[in-house]
């Protein structure tokens, strides 16, 4: 899941890692390897609360910049919808809905025909998205919207050059998963697609509307997939056979076959990350980390790196211990 290309709990800031979500339970299990139950979290808490779970997106936020994590998860500061993120949400919705059709009807024209309806549905669910194309100049706004919808269509069409949906019968789509580790840490997230072979082997698939990373950055891209693999492993006691990232922006497919060592390493990393988050939560010491990604951050106005002042910390603070040191150590390796 790339930055903000997700659906309901994906485009929001902190929805996946915020306060307890009503109905937030999901199970991947069953002796046949079938994913048997799922539930999507219902909304989010409105009052600031200490984080109680971790998702790939929020783990990525903390590794990128601890202060960004605080703004999203604890302060829950609003963020403006972006064209790129919303296009990602739209494309995900279309690819998910296409599987409602019988296999032989899952064609590119059929997928393209779903775009207007899914865009209407998204705007209905999130009226603020209409602001994206609310220029004063109506003609210009209309042209921009048409261009944007055309880009979404090209991404959807490219998918057909990478996978053949007439030969796929996903076990699950947009599956909310949640697992509690022995340490007490709860991991959660949404998997775009789960395929289960007749042999019971599980493949986890994620769509990206951006471009594939250069090989030296592939490990970072796989972090999210290994996170999901760990959750599935903990829930189902089966290590997924394959992790698959489908890059619609560049027309690439990145796959990885995880082994137990990979997932144990990810678990150790997540536990260290969670400990750093716990220390920062208790001390209130959330360090900004300025990088070129700050250009995409909505919170520069309240970020000390850009001359701003964060809002008062809304949680109770304990005397700082080694939170800063832990944050300094935590990198997106």
The nearer residue to ligand SF4, 57 or 186, going by C-beta atoms, is 57
Name residues contacting ligand SF4, limited to 75-114 (CB under 6 A).
none
By CB under 6 A, residue 294 contacts ligand SF4: yes
By CB under 6 A, residue 129 contacts ligand SF4: no
The nearer residue to ligand SF4, 142 or 304, going by C-beta atoms, is 304
The nearer residue to ligand SF4, 167 or 292, going by C-beta atoms, is 292
By CB under 6 A, residue 60 contacts ligand SF4: no
By CB under 6 A, residue 265 contacts ligand SF4: no
By CB under 6 A, residue 303 contacts ligand SF4: yes
By CB under 6 A, residue 213 contacts ligand SF4: no
By CB under 6 A, residue 67 contacts ligand SF4: yes
Task: Look up tokens 């919207």; give the residue.
Answer: 145
CA distance 20 to 208: 27
By CB under 6 A, residue 288 contacts ligand SF4: yes
By CB under 6 A, residue 68 contacts ligand SF4: yes
Q: Which of 19, 54, 204, 297 binds ligand SF4 (CB under 6 A)?
A: 297
| Least distance CB 181 / ligand SF4 (angstroms) | 28
Q: Which of 21, 54, 59, 65 binds ligand SF4 (CB under 6 A)?
A: 65
By CB under 6 A, residue 63 contacts ligand SF4: no
The nearer residue to ligand SF4, 79 or 252, going by C-beta atoms, is 79
- The token pair at 26 is 């999901």
The nearer residue to ligand SF4, 93 or 303, going by C-beta atoms, is 303
CB under 6 A: which stretch of 61-69, 162-170, 209-217, 259-267 binds ligand SF4?
Answer: 61-69
Q: Which of 147, 268, 290, 329 binds ligand SF4 (CB under 6 A)?
A: 290
Q: For 125-160, b where at least 16 C-beta lie within 10 A, e where not — what string? A: eeeebeebbeeeeeeeeeeebeebbebbbebbebbe
Interface contacts to ligand SF4, rule CB under 6 A: 65, 67-68, 288-290, 294, 297, 299-300, 303, 305-306
């Amino acid at each position: 899941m790339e930055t903000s290309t997700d659906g309901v709990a994906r485009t929001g800031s902190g929805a996946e890692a915020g306060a307890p979500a009503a109905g937030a339970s999901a199970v991947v299990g069953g002796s046949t390897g079938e994913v048997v139950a799922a539930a999507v979290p219902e909304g989010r808490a409105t009052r600031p609360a200490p984080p109680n779970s971790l998702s790939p997106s929020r783990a990525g936020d903390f590794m990128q910049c601890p202060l960004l994590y605080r703004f999203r998860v604890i302060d829950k500061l609003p963020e403006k919808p972006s064209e790129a993120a919303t296009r990602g949400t739209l494309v995900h919705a279309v690819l998910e809905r296409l599987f409602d059709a019988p296999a032989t009807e899952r064609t590119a024209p059929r997928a393209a025909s779903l775009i207007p309806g899914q865009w209407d549905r998204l705007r209905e669910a999130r009226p603020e998205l209409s602001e994206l194309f609310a220029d004063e100049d109506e003609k210009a706004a209309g042209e921009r919207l048409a261009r944007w919808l055309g880009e979404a269509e090209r991404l959807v069409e490219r998918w057909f050059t990478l996978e053949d949906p007439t030969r796929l019968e996903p076990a699950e789509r947009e599956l909310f998963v949640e697992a509690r580790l022995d340490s007490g840490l709860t991991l959660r997230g949404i998997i775009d697609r789960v395929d289960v072979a007749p042999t019971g082997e599980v493949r986890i698939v994620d769509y990206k509307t951006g471009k594939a990373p250069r090989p030296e950055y592939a490990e970072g891209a796989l972090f999210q997939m290994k996170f999901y693999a760990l959750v599935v492993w903990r829930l189902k006691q089966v290590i997924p056979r394959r992790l698959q990232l489908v890059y619609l922006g560049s027309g690439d497919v990145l796959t990885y076959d995880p082994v137990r060592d990979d997932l144990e390493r990810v678990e150790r990393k997540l536990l260290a990350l969670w400990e750093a988050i716990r220390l920062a939560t208790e001390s209130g010491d959330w360090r900004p980390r300025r990088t070129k990604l700050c250009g995409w951050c909505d919170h520069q106005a309240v970020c000390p790196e850009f001359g701003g002042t964060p809002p008062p910390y809304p949680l109770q603070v304990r005397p700082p211990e080694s939170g800063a040191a832990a944050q300094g150590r935590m990198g997106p390796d």
